[in-house]
Structure 1
Amino acid sequence: MVISLKDLLLAFQVHESVKKRDKKGALALRKRRVLRRRRSHMGRRIRALRKLVPYGETMEIGKLFVETAKYISCLQMQAKAMQVMVRVLSSNGK
């Protein structure tokens, strides 16, 4: 059996296109796995944040982030107020 050069080239081109498709498919599969893992990780973080922020369980994500920033500012102000109270009360005892 004699194989013509044309048939050999055609077989090579088909083989190369299959290899490229397989590489693209494997790359897409890895990408989907990474994205799924990242989404899962973010989901866990958002659930934890919802538990920390008052009324966070019922908020949509955008509002949750805004309320988280406000809540952190509020906690910082409370901490500063308590530091001032400690300073004032400890200086009165001297």
Structure 2
Amino acid sequence: MQLKTMEAVSVVHQIRCDRCGKETERGELGFAEMTSIGFDAGYDSIFGDGNRVEADLCETCLRDTLGAWLRVRTQAETSLATKLAAFKPEVHGGEFPPPKSAGPG
């Protein structure tokens, strides 16, 4: 039996590009095109040990700021079928061993 309760969940309602200031709200066309970058800085980082680093960028600012270093691939290039077709047992380690018997031994 499942016992359920209602809980409040935090969701992003609006995003503002940190570079150009463009704003978009949840449900608008541009909302899905916003990119949020966030990471925790590591040991001896220029950002400070353990500090949180965040940025929200629209597509245009993402391209204008990081475009020279972005690797954009088509959906076909990143599909599972394409990755599996590129798998070569002689190069990538052969086959997985058969599963071990679960019976008494």
Question: Which TM class, normalised by the smaller chain length?
Answer: under 0.3
Q: Which structure's residues are more often helix, by fraction?
A: 1
Q: TM-score of the superposition, structure 1-length normalised?
A: 0.23
Q: Which structure's residues are more often strand, by fraction?
A: 2
Q: TM-score of the superposition, structure 2-length normalised?
A: 0.21
RCO (CA 8 Å, sep 6+): is it higher in 1 or 2?
2
